[in-house]
Structure 1
Amino acid sequence: MSEFKRVLAVDLGASSGRVILGTYDGSRIVTEELHRFANTPLQIGGDLHWNVLELFQEIKQGIRLACSKYGELLSLSVDTWGVDYGVLDQDGMLLYPPHHYRDQRMQEYRLKLEELLPPEEQFRLTGNQPDPINTVYQLFADVQRNPELQANAGRILMMPDLFHYLLSGTAAAERTILSTSGLTKAGTAELSSEVFSRLGISPALIAERVDAGTVIGSLLPGLRKEFGGSALQIIAGASHDTASAVASIPYRDKEHAAFISCGTWSLVGLETEQPVLTERCYRYGFTNESCYGRGNRLLKNITGLWLLQETQRAWAEAGVALSFGEMVELAESEQAVQGLINPGDPLFSTPGDIPGRIAEYCRSTGQPVPASKGAVVRLILVSLAEAYRKAIAELEELTGTTIRTVHMVGGGIQNRLLCQLTADATGKEVIAGPVEASAIGNVIVQLTALGLLDYSRAGEVAAASGGLAVYRPVQE
């Protein structure tokens, strides 16, 4: 066998997906994007769904390209966003296309669920911050709408578990993705019997639980033949994309470090041994999710660079097409802006004219309206950095930890101005990298599962693989 070890990471996001080759030479991982494709939701009968069969075809195309170019590969693992799932019937066939978390069917049953299971109790039982997009709300809505569903269903599978099933024929519920569901006991992969009993849902719907990094099987014979005989093992890795991203963090002082997984959304948190379930933690809006290795991620979800993406789109529709690099250059040329927006304000929660809404927000809060495009961009970035500062201060308060270093990972760290503003706002050293955090973390977990990497070296390998940049706060 070649000295190079090659595995495939399938990284699915809310708007696009990628099949990425990870090549490990014993000291670092080189990633190669082999296939990128759109992830476009479907509107069917008034509901919003994922086009899961099209996504599966695109994944197959990526595998085909990889096998054609590189021959025998070792394994594959899928990571995705959280909360969504597919429903299999008693014969193991998909009953209907999985719903999208932005579908609105949960709103009709939200109050009924919260009468049976108040939000504070959801948090106490599961560690998850209650939210109508959570699996528990979606599943309750589905059962209320279709009382025959439980009798007809064989299993529900979270999205990465569904793709692993389609590839291997093995139904398994991986721990990190299931920890986003609001269905498990806080800090465990054990189902919360109280949640299921109060809501009248059968726990038998959930497949056998497995830890992140479990080899669950290999390609189905038909797929193996289709791809030229590759024996490709299927690994339930750190299947939640944030769990994969956190697995790639090259910590230098983990006990005193926070992380920001920075992309369309920003996940600000730190790793703890046990869930934090205090009333103050609930009130501050933090959630608890599982890490690779059974640890806990205490984190807050903050609207991220989606604000810039929507701003770019609005300007393009108005006839001014700017790249993200050009937008940042405009922001860098601006003097310090006055005022702040709250990125989590409902005003900014849906697609539309974000620059116009920023002006509306500033007027309604008695702040100066940004007078140029550069000022709009800088206001967004300064406001994101301030949201990060606030979340990190709350983490210090909730855990009694003194945070000295902030690790920023993901595509958003290519915005160097945001990284520097984050260092300035927090007063802490920011270590940025790797950019391909979810893919590299996905590969690291696979290599560990295959016995090709000691996970104690994960940070060293990630640092060598991604390239790091250090930002220190500028004292004004």
Structure 2
Amino acid sequence: MASAKTIHCAAVDLGATSGRVIIGTWARQRLSLTEVHRFPNRFHSLGGHDYWDLAGLWGEVVTGLREARRRFPRLASVGVDTWGVDYVLVNDEGRLVFPTHAYRDARTQPGLKRLANTRAALERIYAATGIPNVFYNSSLQLEETVAHCPAVEDLATRCLFLPDYFNFLLSGRMENEITMASTTQLLDVHGTGWSRATLDHFHIPPTWLTPPILSNTVLGPVRNFPELAGVKVVAVPGHDTAAAYDAMPADPAGGDLFISSGTWSLVGFESDRPVLGAAALAARIANERIGDGRYRPLTNVIGLWLLEQTLRDCTVRPGNDREWGRLITAAERLGRGAA
């Protein structure tokens, strides 16, 4: 007999160009979604470098969750996902000790070229982590930070990736989650711990990181917000692609391909083992993880970033899927070469 219980859960979905808070309602064996808050997101340039506005993002998250509780008084839980690789360095109290760079910042280019020109190291790191050499990797970002700001080693005690950080702000617990950890080029591809050899290669303090937890771990209740009392914080798949994948009605026997489209589009499949070797490295296959620790071998292709950047100069932008569809259809009708 079908359960009559109704459950409301909040999903905080933060993308590189927009964020939203959505309520998933499970009732009568069906899931329905209600968007309660949406807002733009972008990085800001300062002194030739690019940074995220964490305070602004946090304010939008709180606004969205307050609206969610107002509309759904029996809200049961909240989970956060974001784009990959970016991180926050904090001290024991959780205070920021260094600005949070955006992954498109060009400061990693020297390290990228240096690694690309050292074939043996490139192959060794890929064999250890299953992640190819890309300029935005957390490994290169952290290497650059430690090299150019060595005092940060004395100030920071933890490295929290973006969903980890927002989970901390909500629950007070500092944890690294498995799907986000798998985007960093620092996770051991053959287990669920960090690759010590890779951390040493990039001169990253291993004490900054703790053993990653699997997704769907309950971190505890929301703290410091009486209006959200009783709402549980759950470490859902923190990487947005992993979260989207978990919702895909895939064949349990495997074999299904997926395309997760956003600012980037990611094409991949589910596997019980990583895809490694020279051919995989040449194809730039990234062995990211599913929430239960298994693998999502995938490759990155250009997504909606160009369209999103174009719309930044527009006074009105699409606000929902239907409006996006109309815009794309109108563009297709113009034909190639139209002014």
Q: So what's the TM-score if we normalise by structure 1?
A: 0.65
Match of 1:79 in 2: 81
Query: Which residue is 1:288 aligned to?
Result: 287
Residues 101-250 of structure 1 correspond to what in structure 2 (within 5 A)? 101-112=103-114, 118-220=121-223, 222-223=224-225, 225=226, 227=227, 230-250=229-249
Distance 1:333 1:152 in 2: 55
Letter in 1 for 2:168: Y
**185-194 vs 10-19, greater mean Cα deviation:** 185-194
Structure 2 residue 68 is the aligned partner of structure 1 residue 66 = yes
- 2:318: which partner in 1? none
Give how far 1:230 is off: 2.2
Match of 1:96 in 2: 98
Q: Percent identity?
A: 33
What is the CA distance between 1:309 and its match in structure 2? 4.2
Runs of 4+ in structure 1 deviating by more than 6 angstroms, as ranges, are none
**Alpha-carbon distance in structure 2 between the residues aligned to 1:6 and 1:243:** 21
Q: Distance in 2 between matches of 1:198 and 1:232?
A: 41
Q: Are the equivalent residues in 2 in contact too, given 1:84–1:158 (CA < 8 A)?
A: yes
TM-score normalised per structure 2: 0.89
1:299 to partner: Cα distance:
0.4
Give the distance between the partners of 1:91 and 1:147, measured in 2 at CA: 20
Q: In the TM superposition, what whole-angstrom CA distance separates every residue of 1:382-435 from its partner, at most 9, and x where no partner exists?
A: xxxxxxxxxxxxxxxxxxxxxxxxxxxxxxxxxxxxxxxxxxxxxxxxxxxxxx
Aligned AA for 2:47? G
Q: One-letter code of the match for 1:47?
A: H
Instruction: Select the structure that is richer in helix.
Output: 1
Provide the residue aligned with 1:371 in structure 2.
337
The number of equivalent residue pairs is 328
TM superposition shift of 1:292:
1.9
Shift of 1:307: 3.9
Match of 1:8 in 2: 10
Q: Which consecutive unaligned segments of at least 5 residues does structure 2 have? A: 316-322
- 1:195–1:258 CA distance, 2 compared to 1 (3 A): same
- In structure 1, the residue corresponding to 2:257 is in which secondary structure? strand
Are the equivalent residues in 2 in contact too, given 1:187–1:296 (CA < 8 A)? no
Instruction: Quote the RMSD (CA, aligned, Å).
Output: 2.3
What is the CA-CA distance between 1:109 and the residue it aligns to? 3.5
Alpha-carbon contact 2:264-2:304 (below 8 Å) kept: yes
1:126–1:185 Cα contact (<8 Å) kept: yes
| CA deviation after TM superposition for structure 1 residue 113, in Å | 5.3
Determine the structure 2 residue equivalent to 1:427: none
Q: How far apart, in 1, do the equivalents of 2:251 and 2:187 lie?
A: 32
Opposite residue 241 of structure 1, the aligned amino acid is D
Structure 1 unmatched ranges of 5 or more:
335-369, 374-476
SS at match of 2:11: strand
Q: 1:145 to 1:116 in 2, by over 3 A?
A: farther
Offset of residue 275 of structure 1: 0.6
Quick one: structure 1 residues 323 and 184, their matched pair in 2 at CA, closer, same or farther if it must change by over 3 Å?
closer
Query: Given the alignment of the two structures, is residue 272 of structure 1 paired with residue 275 of structure 2, yes or no?
Result: no
